[in-house]
Structure 1
Amino acid sequence: MTDHRNIAIITTLINKELYKKSAQLFPENIQKYVIEGSKGMFAIDSIYYMMKKLKGKGIEWLIMADEDVLFIHPDGVYAIIDSLQKNDFILCGVRDGGQIKTRKQSPYAINTFFSVINFKKLEQLWDSSAVGKNQYILPNEFQEDLAALQEEYDNTSLFEPYYCFYFWLRRMGEKILFLEASEPFEGDGLTTLVFDTNGKELLYHTWYARSYGESEKHTQRIDKVFDLIKFDDTKNPEYIYFYDKLFYFKKHWRKNSIRVKMKIELLFNKLRRK
């Protein structure tokens, strides 16, 4: 059994008010980390930043969970860790296509709302430059039987910029375990119920974290899910906070640099043809 002191949970945070409530449901007695995501730090940028900030902290297993993840049975993560360890999977999560009606993209990658990662192994493999070169898909590349999937998917999808991370791992020979999920509530249309590796209910993912407290529709919908779970929501969760204050400016500069480079190349090609 893995020592709980070597397990951590990280959230790329957009909605602090929602996190104050949902973090009370996280697995107990493990370190919480938060990445400030409200300034555009999310997706693959968040993964790069996560690897930079957590390097060398002695984490063996890392749970990634958005603030709109509401754990029903948080101890189920330990069953998942045991299964991943026993069967040599590097991580697990819910497919981003073919598993639930609202996600019709790649069946070969997970959606980042929840995952459990063998961080110790990932840390040894990590190569940020190599990861970024894997945002592509080849025909029939991943030999996987998708016949049992009940929902729509696109096996050529590059919809999410973070797919490169999962494609890189697969091309490195690493295995991903896909968790079962369903849609538990009639009339909700969005919330996803995720099961652990023993088939037990693990968590609800309510989606639309950004809209909580802003949209009456989504606030009421998410609060109905909260009402199903008994917990004390008056506490403030304790966590270690990461914020790259220069990220917005670096990203803006990077985009402008790409535009300038493209214009220079276009001009050079025109001059060369003359």
Structure 2
Amino acid sequence: MSHYLQAMWAIVARELAKFMRQTGRLVSALVRPLLWLAVFAAGFRNVFGMAIAEPYDTYISYDVYIAPGLIGMVLLFNGMQSSLAMVYDREMGLMRLLLTAPLPRPWILLSKLVATAVLSLVQAAAFVAIAWLLGTELPIWGTQTPHVLLAAVAGALMLGSLGLLLSVHIKQLENFAGTMNFVIFPMYFMSTALYPLWKLEESGADWVYQIARFNPFTHAVEWLRFALYGQDPGLSPYIVLATLALCFGLASWGYDPQRGFGQLAKRGGGGNGGPPGAGG
């Protein structure tokens, strides 16, 4: 177990060190949600009145409502970006070597997933701090703090595992943009990140309402939102954890040595069983 934990720490530390060298990565991760908070939320503050409904016990402004959804946006985009890095590393980077290491492949993938979640949480914490400076305060500190942390960690792991699963099916970097457009935007906009479910139902957008109800991202955001106010999130934690387990299980299956990208070693062998380049 100590060997396994050492390997996990090495992967997490490498990702953190790489992140610290890429200062533009943090800035780019924060620009998108901060623009939504400073521009979109400000422009619609008086248009979208939020009625008193769970988990709120009083009237709230629109920027306070969408703040948990914007935290989810940070987690979502970093989870998807990790799948891009995974595709690159798998083809020509460190993961190409790690996948042949004498460690169980699910453990290597779990280590990569933990590293992704850590980076997601760092970026989410930076967003919360800047949002507070802009005047959007969230009730993070208090007796509900452990629940908030649990919801954030579970959401980061779920979205990271989804990105890991997508990396199984993305064969080339050129296919990444199209895949992301069919995942990120539908998952984000067809959720409760920007508007509550009851508004969707009330407006008559029944098909969007039904999709949002079963969208795992909706439940990640709702778990975080309810945790912030010390309320019971209902079935959301179970759905988030079940999605996490399903995506990670399928990703581990896809990276199995006998399937999918388990054939990387054979591909790297030059096609005739010899070392790279032996085919010539």
TM over 0.5: no
Higher strand residue share: 1
TM category, shorter? under 0.3
TM-score by length of 1: 0.23
TM-score by length of 2: 0.22
